Amino acid sequence: MLWPLFFLMTAIHAELCQPDAENAFKVRLSIRTALGDKAYVWDTNEEYLFRAMVAFSMRKVPNRGATEISHVLLCNVTQRVSFWFVVTDPSKNHTLPAVEVQSAIRMNRNRINNAFSLNDHTLEFLKIPSTFAPPMEPSVPIWIIIFGVIFCIVIVAVTLLILSGIRQHRRNTKGPSGVDDTEDKCENTIAVENGIPCDPLDTKGGHINEVFLTEEERLTPL
Amino acid sequence: MEKARPQWGNPLQFVFACISYAVGLGNVWRFPYLCQMYGGGSFLVPYIIMLILEGMPLLYLELAVGQRMRQGSIGAWRTISPYLSGVGVASVVASFFLSMYYNVINAWSFWYLFHSFQDPLPWSVCPLNDNLTGYDEECEKASSTQYFWYRKTLNISPSIQESGGVQWEPALCLILAWLVVYLCILRGTESTGKVEQLANPKTWISAATQIFFSLGLGFGSLIAFASYNEPSNDCQKHAIVVSLINSSTSIFSSIVTFSIYGFKATFNYENCLSKVILLLTNSFDLEDGFLTASNLEPMKDYLASTYPSKYSEVFPHIRNCSLESELNTAVQGTGLAFIVYTEAIKNMEVSQLWSVLYFFMLLTLGIGSMLGNTAAILTPLTDSKVISRHLSREAISGLVCLISCGISMVFTMEAGNYWFDIFNDYAATLSLLLIVLVEIIAVCYVYGLRRFGSDLQAMTGHTLNWYWKAMWAGVSPLLIVSLFIFYLSDYILMGTLQYQAWDATQGKLVTKDYPSYALAVIWLLVASSTMCIPLVALGIFITHCLKKRGTAAVA
């Protein structure tokens, strides 16, 4: 007596959850890509957890009746791992509108990802776009700070050089004009005159010739 | 008594200045491209032959002229013959054009350098779109490095007609670049040197052209540098040293560039493969990790045979991944420096460090060459008594930098990169060939090769080797004439000139024709430096005739 009812229920379930059915979503997991050696096997227990997470997301929506795990139907599980799911209403005759399911899942995406140790790329809900975290923009872009530092250094260097150039020019014009030319030559041309650099020519004093010193000391006093 | 000419502190400063000028961005982004296009290692054969026949002789000629005449380009050629001062003027004009657009590259290098201090590097990730649901569309279609170059750096417009406004970010970097150049040239020679403390006729033509432009002949920079030498300086040895170092830098940078190409090609190939694997895994719901790079081909056949209808749906989206096609993408110019290299760098470990080092290198190369260019402009100006009487050296340098900076703001507009390409391709190519041709004919036949040889002997103490004489008198002029004829005929035969424009909707470059005013600018660029030579000669001839008539009338 109960058997026809059972068959009816499974038939309805089968109709409600089908690939490309109304309000159905395809989910794709890439467990091995995300976890490598630590990948777990996708079995009915994992499916149970998934249904629980979807039911959890639906329950978090305010002003909605409590969704049970049995209201979440999974079908067409493949090796990939991918499957389709729908969420039915308590009467189990209709599926909940896709928009509601979508917004519920988006709000709790993080929790669902964490339950499976996956992220937005490895646990994909096709047709439910994930919101990317907005990039962290500092109030002042970093490049302007570095630009400002280098700009200030260059400006300071240019100003210093110009000022020292003006000072040198003033010193040159104020000094006596006769000695000016030779001094000019020495200052502007770092090159040599007759192989002797100009600088040592005006060192103070002279050198003490060591030879004569030792000679005097060697002579024994009479 | 006249103020003595400033001189290099020691010959090494002069050599370093020349090397820093000659070794520029062309060594990094032009030579490896040519090597790749013309057969790799075998390109070295025509390159070295052209170096011996054309590069070294012309380099030595320019250095010798500068050292002998001890003046900038205008004064040097006026000394040889007053009718030839047009050559100097043409050199200065060409240098002016070059310095206008060349410093924009330094501005871009600064921009990238400042952006290298971020984690992650801004050109390694695409920005998000407005809803934060995906990546920006243009960035998806192109790649993140291309997007950063075309959108964030240049903010390029779809064609040269749509100029847009001046972008303030690259404009700031341009101002900084000019300030740095001004800082270096402010004090003149003493500071310039210390900045450094580089069976196919097309192959031969490219080798000759590359040597020619790589050494920076004809701009007057080498004459300017050499004019600050002591007369007894052995510039023959220096000419050989500079050209050899320039060529070895080119070869060294191609080794580096080719390894970067290989790295990038391998990376992209592996990326392409994983995309194909993901596509097939998702379409056929195969087990995750089932498809690998090794079993991809047999599995594709298996899937094609087992699910033919589904496979034919997916087939158009499957890209054919080939390592060869990745390796064959040869890029030159700004595309290589700012797109290909940044793409390779973003995939390396500690990418911020490599990025900073790389752009710092580009900056030093660029600024070194800029100093040579500005020296070519400033030396004739400071030599001229008219100008130097009224303005100090700092003021002249400042004015030149200011005017060039102002005009080069054009290149920071949205369409600026298209104008940059125009200047890069046409401002200094044909005119330089003509300038150097006239130079070599002037020295050999107007001044007299024997006279010049004895001058050099009096200066340096070495007799002129037969090799130099043969090259100057015969081989090099012939080579230049043939290059000149080839390029002229190439320009004439090409018909309408075209350019590559960035299409934001497709995310790639498309070819477009130049509008008429752009063509007018191109002809103006070429004409303004080439016409200087005959026009100035004509002007001096007329003034001489007028003077003769004047004195005849008085007498």
Residue-wise DSSP of A1-55: -HHHHHHHHHHHHHHHS-TT-TT-EEEEE-HHHHHGGGPPP--HHHHHHHHHHHH
Task: Establish if A22 belongs to a structural domain.
Answer: yes
Residues near B352 by beta carbon (within 8 Å), at least 6 away in sequence: B116, B117, B118, B119, B121
Cβ <8 Å between B186 and A154: no
CB B82 within 8 A of CB B529: no
Measured distance CA(A111)–CA(B390) in Å, rounded:
77
Percent of chain A clearing pLDDT 90 (strictly above): 8
SS3 state at A175: coil
Q: How many domains does chain A have?
A: 2
SS3 state at B243: helix
Rg of chain B in Å (alpha carbons) = 27
Rg of chain A in Å (alpha carbons) = 44
Kindly tell me if the per-residue pLDDT of B389 is higher than 80.
Answer: yes
Residues A102 and A146 placed together within one structural domain of the fold: no
Averaged pLDDT of chain B = 85
pLDDT at A10: 59
CB < 8 Å to B292, chain A: none
Residues A144 and A56 placed together within one structural domain of the fold: no
Measured distance CA(B223)–CA(A44) in Å, rounded:
84
State both tokens at B475.
């081989």
Residues A19 and A95 placed together within one structural domain of the fold: yes
Kindly tell me if the per-residue pLDDT of B2 is higher than 90.
Answer: no
Task: Establish if A153 belongs to a structural domain.
Answer: yes
> pLDDT by residue (tens digit) across B492-526?
777 678 888 888 888 778 888 889 889 899 889 88
CB < 8 Å to A32, chain B: 288-289
Angstroms from B465 CA to nearest CA on chain A = 29
Residues of B with CB under 8 A from a CB of A: 1, 3-9, 110-111, 114-115, 117-118, 127-128, 131-134, 172-173, 176, 179-180, 182-183, 186-187, 190, 230, 281-282, 285-290, 392, 394
Residues A105 and A152 placed together within one structural domain of the fold: no
Confidence of residue B330 (pLDDT cuts 50, 70, 90): low
Of B1, B179, B288, the CB nearest to A30: B288
Asked if A36 is an interface residue toward chain B (Cβ–Cβ < 8 A), one would say no
SS3 state at A193: strand
Residues A19 and A115 placed together within one structural domain of the fold: yes
pTM of the predicted model, to two decimals? Answer: 0.78
Place of tokens 């490095």: B145
Task: Establish if A166 belongs to a structural domain.
Answer: yes
CB < 8 Å to A131, chain B: 131-133
Kindly tell me if the per-residue pLDDT of A218 is higher than 60.
Answer: no
Q: What is the mean pLDDT of residues B45-54?
A: 89
Intra-chain end-to-end CA distance of chain B, in Å: 34
Site from B275, B288, B291, B307 to mutate, A interface, most A CB atoms within 10 angstroms: B288
Residues A102 and A143 placed together within one structural domain of the fold: no
Task: Establish if A37 belongs to a structural domain.
Answer: yes
Task: Establish if A221 belongs to a structural domain.
Answer: no
Confidence of residue B240 (pLDDT cuts 50, 70, 90): very high
Confidence of residue B194 (pLDDT cuts 50, 70, 90): very low
Kindly tell me if the per-residue pLDDT of B188 is higher than 90.
Answer: no
Confidence of residue B463 (pLDDT cuts 50, 70, 90): confident
Structural domain harbouring A146: 137-172
ipTM: 0.79
Site from A188, A193, A198, A199 to mutate, B interface, most B CB atoms within 10 angstroms: A188
Angstroms from B174 CA to nearest CA on chain A = 11
Residues A79 and A119 placed together within one structural domain of the fold: yes
Task: Establish if A219 belongs to a structural domain.
Answer: no
CB B186 within 8 A of CB A158: yes
Residues A121 and A142 placed together within one structural domain of the fold: no
Residues A103 and A41 placed together within one structural domain of the fold: yes
Q: What is the mean pLDDT of residues B184-192?
A: 67
Task: Establish if A94 belongs to a structural domain.
Answer: yes
Confidence of residue A199 (pLDDT cuts 50, 70, 90): low
Task: Establish if A1 belongs to a structural domain.
Answer: no
Q: What is the mean pLDDT of residues B214-231?
A: 88
> pLDDT by residue (tens digit) across A46-70?
889 998 998 888 888 887 778 888 8
CB < 8 Å to A161, chain B: 183, 186-187, 394
Kindly tell me if the per-residue pLDDT of A11 is higher than 70.
Answer: no
Q: Annotated binding site of B for Na(+), which residues?
A: 22-23, 27, 214, 246, 365, 369
**What are the backbone dihedrals phi and psi of residue B427, each rounded to the nearest 5 degrees, phi first?**
-65, -40
Residues near A54 by beta carbon (within 8 Å), at least 6 away in sequence: A72, A85, A87, A101, A105, A112
Confidence of residue A180 (pLDDT cuts 50, 70, 90): very low
Angstroms from A3 CA to nearest CA on chain B = 34
Q: Do the bridges between strand A82-87 and strand A72-75 make them parallel or antiparallel, or are there none, so unpaired?
A: antiparallel
Residues A111 and A151 placed together within one structural domain of the fold: no
Residues A23 and A101 placed together within one structural domain of the fold: yes
Angstroms from A183 CA to nearest CA on chain B = 11
Q: Which helix (H) or strand (E) holds B374?
A: helix B351-383
Of A28, A134, A189, the CB nearest to B282: A28
Kindly tell me if the per-residue pLDDT of A154 is higher than 60.
Answer: yes
For residue B411, the one-letter residue type is F
pLDDT at B279: 86
Angstroms from B432 CA to nearest CA on chain A = 33
Cβ <8 Å between A143 and B115: yes
Cis (ω within 30 of 0) for the bond into B120?
Answer: yes
Q: Dihedral of CA A92/A94/A97/A102: which sign?
A: positive
CB < 8 Å to B173, chain A: 147
Averaged pLDDT of chain A = 76
Cβ <8 Å between B186 and A161: yes
> Where among A125, A159, A180 does a domain terminate?
A125
Cβ <8 Å between A147 and B133: no
Residues A108 and A155 placed together within one structural domain of the fold: no
